[in-house]
Amino acid sequence: MTAETLSPAELRNMFGKNLRELSTQYPSVSELSRQLGINRTQFNRYLSGESFPRPDVLNRICLFFGVDARILLEPVETLSSRGLVLNGPVLRDFLGTGVNELSEELFPSGFYRFSRRSFLNDGQFLVGLVRVFRQDGVAYVRGFEAREAIRQQGLPMQARAREFRGYAARQEDGVAMVISRRGAMTCSFNFLARVASFENNYWVGYATRTVRETTNGLRAARMVYEHLASKPDVILPAARAAGFKTAEELPPFHRRLLQTGDPFR
């Protein structure tokens, strides 16, 4: 039977079944209905397939669970696997847990200045700026490739071509990030662990890029992140100073953490 031929009762039953499945993630229906701002008695009517929510309430439910209005037409496991990958039924208890549990305390939102050895030129270091922000409980990373790096690769210089985005996830001893350019043309995996500092605002780890093994160029390099919060008087100079640097031109604590004289292992 196709979605177009479902009767109102069948639609209510589909919605109720999907809502019951989504609700199993929560220990208490009372607490769930409270978080949704829906009367418990009315919420039970939705669960049993006796009633439909108003459009505004349906929108609230969809936003809360990260699904769309197909919750009325298709089994929820189908919706989850299409619309959600890390938080879908296959990976939710594996990768999704790390994505959902990265707190502000572990990795605060705001702007970060980063530095690492250049993948293209072993004698230079790349300094850049990224922004970490949260949406629907997930920490995202957004930034732009340095103009010099784009120019060396013969790629378009427009902001759209230089932009990269990714997500961050909690690990046992730090933070992992998967970052890609538009169209998933290139990707990098990053790992960071907090280090002791006066303001507790430094992370050190490494970045790896998804390229084939070659005789030239690095595929992994030590990396430093410095949290700048959201202070314009610090962020703007950092943005203007982004680009390729020599070891001597790096911020002093970055140079120390990068161990510029020692190879990355």
**Residues contacting 202, CB < 8 A, separation 6+:** 194, 195, 224, 225, 226, 227, 253, 257
Q: What is the pLDDT of residues 25-48, one digit of tens each?
A: 777 888 888 888 999 999 999 999
**Residues contacting 227, CB < 8 A, separation 6+:** 108, 110, 111, 112, 201, 202, 203
> With bands split at pLDDT 50, 70 and 90, how would you rate the model's confidence at 4?
low
> With bands split at pLDDT 50, 70 and 90, how would you rate the model's confidence at 255?
very high
- Would the pLDDT of 180 be above 70? yes
Summarize the confidence of residues 159-169 as an average pLDDT. 88
- Residue 81 has a pLDDT of 44
Domains belonging to the chain, first-starting first, are 3-83 (1.10.260.40), 110-258 (2.40.128.120)
Q: What is the pLDDT of residues 189-204, one digit of tens each?
A: 999 999 999 889 999 9
Say if pTM beats, i.e. exceeds, 0.85. no
Q: What is the pLDDT of residues 121-137, one digit of tens each?
A: 878 999 999 999 998 78
> With bands split at pLDDT 50, 70 and 90, how would you rate the model's confidence at 208?
very high
CA-derived radius of gyration, the chain: 23
Sequential DSSP letters for 68-86: -GGGGTS-HHHHHHHH-ST
Residue 124 backbone phi and psi in degrees, to 5: -120, 165
Q: Name the DSSP letter for residue 124.
A: -
- Would the pLDDT of 5 be above 90? no
- Residue 30 has a pLDDT of 86
Structure tokens at 134: 């949260």
